[in-house]
């Protein structure tokens, strides 16, 4: 069972633990820990994610992150200059994200980055049907196998909260159904079109939904499958 708790100045999600003296906890903090280290060091050349979304000099796309989770990838993209719309359907995770964004916005060095991040709680499918963007990004839940116990803990807690597998195939199908390489944004009232869809996968996993991408960009333990506009199976 998970419960939100206010601890000092931040919101934490506590998980009941019967075999430990204190509960396991999740928190979104863009100022400390892994994100506090990685964010300022993110660079266009050393981020496979940046290459996957098509980030180029002078061209920072607007990205819809349909499975924001703890916001780590959205934060990196915003650090690199992208405007990012974060979607999170789980209300407890959405609350953690909102709290983390508010606290980070109070840091002078991070304020410009946080200003490029907008959280929309609720079903990402609604956002895909109504919002314009250049890129749709999906990071469906999957079993992580990092060697570091510290790196595994947040993912273990997310899996306890969301289950071993999150939504994915339906979001991919919806995004691909609206993909267009024309680069022309439709008028108001017309369903949005996206130039690119990017899916984060384990390095050796099959493509999401067995839908073959145009190409893939590999990192050390993950892979980004890229689907370009006017996709045809």
Specify the fold of 28-228. Rossmann fold (3.40.50)
Closest CA to 166 of 23, 67, 78: 67
**Predicted local distance difference test score (pLDDT) of residue 160:** 64
139 is annotated as contributing to ligand binding: yes
CA distances from 56 to 16, 53, 62, 193 (A): 45, 9, 13, 20
In whole angstroms, what is the distance from residue 67 CA to residue 48 CA?
A: 18
Phi/psi at 142 (5° precision): -150, 160
CB 30 within 8 A of CB 100: yes
Instruction: Annotate 103-170 with DSSP letters as a single string.
Output: HHHTSTTTHHHHHTEEEEES-HHHHHHH---SEEEE--------S-HHHHHHHHHHHHHH-SS---HH
**Predicted local distance difference test score (pLDDT) of residue 13:** 84
**Predicted local distance difference test score (pLDDT) of residue 150:** 45
CB 198 within 8 A of CB 226: yes
Q: How high is the mean pLDDT in each 10-residue block of the chain (233 residues)? A: 81 73 79 58 69 86 94 94 94 94 94 96 93 93 52 63 68 87 53 85 93 93 90 62
| DSSP single-letter state for residue 21 | S
Beta 222-228 vs 2-7: how paired, if at all?
unpaired
CB 25 within 8 A of CB 12: yes
């Amino acid at each position: 069972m998970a419960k939100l708790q206010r601890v000092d100045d931040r919101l934490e999600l506590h998980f009941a633990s019967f075999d430990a003296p204190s509960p396991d906890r999740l928190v979104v903090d863009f100022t400390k820990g892994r994100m506090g280290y990685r964010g300022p060091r993110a660079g266009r050349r050393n981020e496979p994610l940046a290459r996957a979304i098509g980030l180029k000099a002078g061209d920072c796309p607007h990205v819809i992150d349909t499975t924001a989770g703890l916001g780590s990838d959205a934060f990196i993209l915003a650090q690199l200059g992208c405007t990012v719309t974060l979607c999170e359907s789980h209300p407890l995770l959405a609350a953690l994200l909102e709290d983390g964004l508010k606290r980070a916005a109070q840091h002078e060095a991070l304020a410009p980055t946080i200003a490029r991040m907008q959280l929309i709680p609720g079903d990402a499918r609604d956002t895909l049907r109504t919002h314009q963007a250049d890129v749709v990004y999906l990071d469906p839940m999957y079993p992580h196998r990092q060697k570091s116990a510290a790196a595994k803990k947040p993912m273990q807690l997310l899996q306890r909260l969301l289950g071993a597998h999150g939504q994915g195939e339906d979001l991919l199908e919806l995004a691909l159904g609206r993909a267009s390489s024309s680069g022309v944004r439709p008028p108001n009232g017309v369903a949005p079109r996206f130039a690119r869809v990017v899916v984060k996968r384990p390095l050796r996993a099959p493509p999401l939904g067995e839908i073959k991408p145009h190409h893939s960009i590999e990192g050390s333990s993950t892979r980004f499958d890229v689907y370009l506009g006017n996709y045809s199976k």
